[in-house]
Each structure stands twice: as structure tokens, then as C-alpha cells.
Amino acid sequence: MRILSPAVTSLLGALVLAAAPARAQRLRGEVVFADSVTPARAVIVNVTDSAGTVVARTLTSSVGSFVVDLTREGRYRVRLLRIGFQPTESPATLVRTGTPVTLRLVLLGAPVTLARVTVRGERECRIRPDSAQEVFRLWDEARKALSAAQLALTSGRLDSEWLRYQRRSSATDETLYEDSVGTGSGRTARPFVSEAPASLARLGYRRDIGGTAVYLGPDGEALLSEEFAATHCFRLRPPPDGHPGWIGAEFEPARERNGIVDIAGTAWLDRASAELQLVEFGYTNVPVEVRRAGIGGRIEYARLASGEFALNRWQIRLPGTRDALLRVRDGGFEHTETRRQVTRLNVSGGELRAVRADGDESYRRESGALDVRLGTASGVLHAAGATLAFAGAPYLGLADSAGIAHLQRIPPGTYRVGITTPEMRDLVVRPLWRELTVADGDRTASASLTFSDDDLLAAACGDAGVRRREVLVFGVALDADGEPWSNDSVQVHWTADAVPDTGDPGPVRWRGRRAPTDEFGRWSTCEVPRNVTLVVGAVTESPASLARRVRIDAGQPVVHLRLPVVPRRGQPPA
């Protein structure tokens, strides 16, 4: 499974505009509010031809002006779209080659009123609802916000800073295989790689490439397209828990198609302002194992101080799958069949940190709102560089050299936070989970989360392992060139008998466990007793291992070993 790339290019896909010829028909405009004086900035400008087709789109500037180049002469209308208000449309205007036309337009649209939904909402799911229906008005406002976000971040007027992250973990026990956090800056930030709307409508949102399932996320162009409207139906949703002032436009495929993966979700709007707050989606027509993994995505939005609409935070959760042969019992008989299993979870996301519009700061996420100090009583783990991931929420913190994670402002509530240190990332150990409470009204707060070697033992081996005073043994196996000894195994042997430092240990009683190595050569095993002598070596088809020997004392719950694998004669003790 390949995570959809969080490549830093554009927020939700660029609108493809026709390039203007050398002698273009140029249409200029100035847009003001109803007082006929105040410039109206960040208003969507749609230019339509005589057939009603949109031929150009842009946003008004900080002084309410716009310029569009048209491909041919003709009569055109300008339709002004402002979130939360009815459209304003100009009369048809003749535009000729070489003769620029300048219009002065006054926004006169009345406010949009969104009705309150207090019950389950409409049961009927409507395809292409007409303009008299509430769900149409809701979806139309969502489309305005999506269009405004695209146009704002492809206009060249915004410089952005953002944080992005990727995480890859086991689907069964949350063991973290990869974790990366970074920052970026530039004109735009695009969370999902998508395809043309016509391709998505025809082929769906999954591609099977070389036996690997690659899932696509919906960008703005897809959600705005006529193809999406024609293949999905819509219904109203009442406010979700915690947001009584919201109202939802739920979408789902109009029909299920054999072998085609589609998306279903909800666009949530603020009922008072009609501003889009959140789009969340999941995948339909997928195997039950994939559906249980809770795959899907969420995209949050915010209005900038300069008036533009922007993507604020995003996250997508996708499965890593493989085909496996399983023994299945049916009616008293057993047979073997191939089933797709979810083995990994891939999560990528990011959040907007700051935006400058035309050189002036338009947005900055509050920093230092929550400082979490990580304390450790471990001889193996270190707090510096540890990450804090919030279960079920798209928040992420990175601890500095002092072991303090400076998180952005987080809504009040109690969160389950997973701590992963650099050593845990390198050595395949599940996160250490803690509860963190953020009080209502806390603008700046601090908290402490601590962990020890026993916590690490519990995370890897369970509470029973702590009660039994087991030892977690883990490490990395590398070959003579320093490359991972991948997809093989390591044999861990131990004995309570005295073993001499040199020579043949004699007839001692050895016990052992086999630990598989992953693609990075990482391995781990539990159920090793304390106060024993360990001998660890790689298991190979030919004699090839340099065994490590270490003594575990009674107070040592964790052992970290770096295991070289080199050709040699002999085998690990049996």
C-alpha cells in the first residue's frame, strides 16, 4: 500500500484554465459591497459565455479588483459568489479583441439561510437536488468554499508555512514502523494526489498496481465536478456531537458498481455563517477487513484574516494490504483460499501554520498553547525527538532537545496520546499510551507525561509480561555491509546455568524463541525470564551468524541488542 503523497504543491488541485492567446479579450472588474465604497476582497468571480458555461474563474484582490483573459469575442456575464450569500450577476457585456472592458459591480446578494435539522435528516438521498431543496443550498455553499480555497492558493498571492507528517504502523498491535515529521513553506500545500474527475467517476478511487492497492483522495476539482454530482446523491445530516451549530450535507455513491471503490462522507457547515468547516470521507465497496480498519480522511477549513478561504488541517488513513492463503472451515470441511488482509495502517496529514497574503500576515496558528514535558526513567529510551500522536484526532507534537513538545491550540477534552521515542521508531515498539486532559479555556497550559522501561515492557508484551517480570529483547540485525537482515529471523536462547566466558559451555539447559526480522532488519521478542544468560544469533539457511551473549540481571526489563550477521562456522546453541 502506498500512502497518498502529501506533496507540497497545491491545496486541493489547480483549476485548469485555458492559456490566453497573444491578443486576448481582457475583462477587468471592480467589486464593492452594498455601500458602493468598500472593496470586496476574496469574492469568487465566474465568467460565463452566452451558453451559460463557465469559461474563467478567479478571486477578487485585496482592493476588490479582478482581471480575466478570454479566448474569443462575445457576450459574457460575471457571476459573483460570496460564501453565505446569494449570487450577484451582471448583465451580458460585449467583449471585443484589443478593447479591454472594465465593470464596476456591487454585491447585492441576500444572506443564505440554512434551516436547522434536529432529527435524523432526510432519509431520501437525492441525485442533483434542485435549487429549492435545502440540501442543494448546503452543498452549493460547500462548493463555494472548495472553489475559493483552490483559487486562493493558486493565485500566487499567498505564502504558506505548514507541518506535515507520515506514520506507518501495524494494523493489529499499533507497532510503529515509520514516523516522520517535517515542515514546509511555499505557495501552496496539497494533501492528496488525485486524478481527473472523469477518471474517478469511471474507475473509482482505488487502483490495483502490481498487486498493491493504491487509494486516491478526492481533491477540490473532484468534489466540485459535474461528474461527482452525477454519480453521488445527497441528504441532510443533523449536527454532530460537540458542534450544535453545524449542519451536514451527506454524500454517497448513487449506486454500487461491481469492483469500483467510491467515497461517501459529509461536508459540515456552520449554520449561521454557511462557512465550510470540515469534509470527512470514507471508502465504499471495499473488503470488510479494510472497512474495519477505519480508513478515510478529513479536511478542515478556516477563513483567513484577509478574507480568503483555506485548508487548515488534513489527515488521511489508508490500509496496507497483502493477499494471504488461509485455511477456511466450511460445513465441516476445510479448504484453502486467498484473502486480502490488512497488515499496515498508513496515516499522513498536516496542518497550516502561517499565511502571508500579498506580503501581510493573514493567519498564524497560536503556538505554545500546550507544552507537554516528557519524563523518562529509562536507560534505553530518550524523550528528545519523541512524537505525540492523538488517537482519533489530527494533532501531532514533536519533543525538542529538552523533551518538551510544543503543541498548537487544541480543543478541550481528554485525549489518548501515543508516545513514540526515536529508539521505538527504529526498533519496532508500540507507542506508549497516556491520557491527556485539556481544560476548557486553556490558552496556554502545560502537562507532564512520564514513562519507564516497565512501561515499554507493558506496551510490547502486555501487562501480564510486567506481572511475570519478563524481559523485552529487541534490536536490529545487519549484514556485513550494514544492510538490514530482512525477512528472516533471529533465535534467542537463554539459560539460568552458569556459562563460562570462554570455551564450550558444556551441557547446559538452553531454552529459546524465534523472532522474525522485518524489512528493516528489526526484531523483538517477549517472555524471556530475568537473571539468565542470553545468546542471540540470526537463523539462516547456511551457517551465517555472529551470536551475541549478554547477562540479564533481576532488575533489567529491557535489553537492546545490535546484531551483526556475518559468515562463520557453527550454529547458535540449540
Quickly state the pLDDT bin for 573 (edges 50, 70, 90): very low
**CATH topology match: 366-451 vs 469-565:** yes
Ranges 169-173, 199-203, 244-248, 548-552: which has the least confidence? 169-173
User: DSSP alpha helices (H): ranges in 377-493?
Assistant: 422-426, 453-461, 463-467
pLDDT tens figures, 493-522: 888 776 655 555 556 677 888 888 887 788
Domain boundaries defined on the chain: 366-451, 469-565
* pLDDT at 24 (0 to 100): 67
More confident site: 505 or 219? 219
Q: How far apart are CA 461 and CA 479, in angstroms?
A: 27
More confident site: 423 or 137? 137
CATH architecture entry for 469-565: Sandwich (2.60)
Nearest Cα residue to 227 out of 280, 263, 265: 263
Residue 251 pLDDT exceeds 80: yes
Residue 451 pLDDT exceeds 90: no
* pLDDT at 441 (0 to 100): 47
pLDDT tens figures, 460-473: 787 787 888 888 88
- Determine what percent of the chain is predicted with pLDDT higher than 90: 21
Nearest Cα residue to 469 out of 528, 410, 390: 528
pTM: 0.67
Quickly state the pLDDT bin for 249 (edges 50, 70, 90): very high
Give the highest mean pLDDT range of 41-55, 367-381, 502-516, 530-544.
Answer: 41-55
Residue with cell 515492557: 457
Cell of 81: 459568489
**Pair 368, 396: CB distance under 8 Å:** no
Quickly state the pLDDT bin for 348 (edges 50, 70, 90): confident
Give the number of C-alpha atoms closer than 13 A to the C-alpha of residue 384, restricted to the C-beta side: 2
* Cβ-proximal residues to 23 (8 Å cutoff; 6+ apart), any chain: 97, 98
* pLDDT at 290 (0 to 100): 82
- Fold of the CATH domain 366-451: Immunoglobulin-like (2.60.40)
* pLDDT at 81 (0 to 100): 94
pLDDT tens figures, 313-342: 888 888 877 766 667 777 667 777 776 677
Q: Residue range 408-423: average pLDDT? A: 76
* pLDDT at 530 (0 to 100): 87
Residue 262 pLDDT exceeds 90: yes
Residue 2 pLDDT exceeds 50: no
Give Rg (Cα) of the chain.
29
Residue with cell 524471556: 528
**Pair 522, 438: CB distance under 8 Å:** no
Which three-class secondary structure state does DSSP give residue 561?
A: strand
* Average predicted confidence (pLDDT) for the chain: 79
More confident site: 425 or 302? 302
Count Cβ neighbours within 10 Å for each residue of 126-143 and write b for 16 or more, e otherwise: eeebeeeebbbbbbbbbb
Q: How far apart are CA 546 and CA 565, in angstroms?
A: 6
**What H or E segment, with its residue span, contains residue 200?**
helix 197-203
Q: Residue range 118-139: average pLDDT? A: 69
Q: How far apart are CA 486 and CA 508, in angstroms?
A: 31
Nearest Cα residue to 414 out of 396, 388, 440: 440
Q: How far apart are CA 139 and CA 151, in angstroms?
A: 18
Query: Is the dihedral angle over the CA atoms 416, 417, 423, 426 positive or is it negative?
Result: positive
* pLDDT at 315 (0 to 100): 87
Ranges 276-290, 430-444, 513-527: which has the least confidence? 430-444
Residue 127 pLDDT exceeds 90: no
Nearest Cα residue to 538 out of 557, 561, 558, 560: 561
Cell of 338: 486467498
DSSP-assigned letter for residue 201:
H
Quickly state the pLDDT bin for 93 (edges 50, 70, 90): very high
